[in-house]
Structure 1
Amino acid sequence: VRSWLGSDAYPGVEFILRDHYFNSGSRNTGKILQRALNINGAGLVVDGIVGPRTRQELQDQLAATGEAVFLVGLQEKRQAFYRSCKQFSVFGKGWLNRCDDAFSVAQELA
């Protein structure tokens, strides 16, 4: 995840992406990242592969909007990911609680 950011300048974004990565893997984390970037019109293909274009767009958007603003979009897309899972009716409350807890920590780090 740190290599996606290119530096340690955005600890809140790194934290929330890393938390999702540990729970859902790299491909799903890449997809929520790409969906968050697309909120601002990045036009990325949502394939979960965090290549050079996704990395550059991430760095550009963080520089333009700031970490706190970007975290809100990332949180929104993470929650949407969990809601789309087949097992949401069983595990959804716990997933969303974890998501909210991670978001709170990320905001403190930003």
Structure 2
Amino acid sequence: MDFNFDIAAQFTASREGLYQCLHSDAGNWTFGAVGQGNLVGTMRGISAPVMVRWLGDASMVTKTVMQSITQDQFNAISRCLYWRAINGDQLPAGVDLLLFDFAFNCGVARAAKQLQRVLCMQPEQIDGDIGELTLAAVLRAPVQDILLSLSDRYRRRLQDDLGVTSDGIIGPGTLKAVKAQDARLRVLIYACASQQEAAYRSFKGFAQFGRGWLGRLDQRVEAAVALLTAMPALA
């Protein structure tokens, strides 16, 4: 939703570090690959290639420029390149933060395509662009379709939230509770979170960084659900 950007940006900023410059990190090189371009580092989660995109000229991106990225610049870059890219102003509360932080962390196209798959959109519609068709599906896709994307972990969490037997089986009792408690958007958040977890586990750096990635996911889901439940009339 349009007034949730500040909340989402603060969430993401608080989970990104300040300046670092590792030779082995592709995100610290201006051309996005180790040894390609100049080694200038990353600041507040803004990678060197993202800064090149922002400024439009790789020669302008230096270590000094990266070290000087302020919170205001972070907000401007993240609003333009991530929040607007996922159409955050038009997404329901909670879903917006969940997709924004994952997009910032793992890429806009990946986040958007995951959402489109969760909504069971047609293959030709899974294009990584959260436009009118995707936004309509966010509001209208059958909850039974969305439930198909939940992992066992999030099926059980949903059932715990709904106060039904936590057996990981989505049967008539769970479906009845989802409808009675108007929990469709909670289902959507958990379905997207299931796909985000699967993505993290598929990354080759999972053995080294997976614990941190999954910890951030847990925090992301908590923040998303908190936004959703804070504005039930708007969600």
Instruction: Calculate the TM-score normalised by the size of structure 2.
Output: 0.40
Matched, 1:15 2:97: yes
Which is helix-richer, 1 or 2?
1
Offset of residue 4 of structure 1: 3.5
CA contact (8 A) 2:88 2:100 kept: no
- Alpha-carbon shift at residue 5 of structure 1 (Å): 6.0
Q: Percent of aligned positions with the same letter in both sequences? A: 31
Alignment partner for residue 36 of structure 1, among 84, 98, 118?
A: 118
Give the conservation status (yes or no) of the 8 Å contact 1:5–1:58: no
User: Aligned-pair distance for 1:6?
Assistant: 6.2
The 2-side partners of 1:101 and 1:62 are apart by 27
Greater relative contact order, per chain length (Cα 8 Å cut-off, separation 6+): 1
What is the identity, as a one-letter code, of the residue corresponding to 1:55?
L
Residue 139 of structure 2, aligned match among 59, 70, 75: 59
Computing the radius of gyration from Cα coordinates, the structure with the larger value is 2
Cα root mean square deviation, aligned? 2.7
Matched letter for residue 60 of structure 1? R
SS at match of 2:90: coil
In structure 2, list runs of 5 or more residues that go unmatched: 1-82, 144-181, 229-235
Q: 1:29, 1:48 within 8 Å by CA — same for their partners in 2?
A: yes
1:29 match: secondary structure: helix
Number of aligned residues:
106
Equivalent residue number for residue 204 of structure 2: 86
Q: Which residue of 1 aligns with 2:129?
A: 49
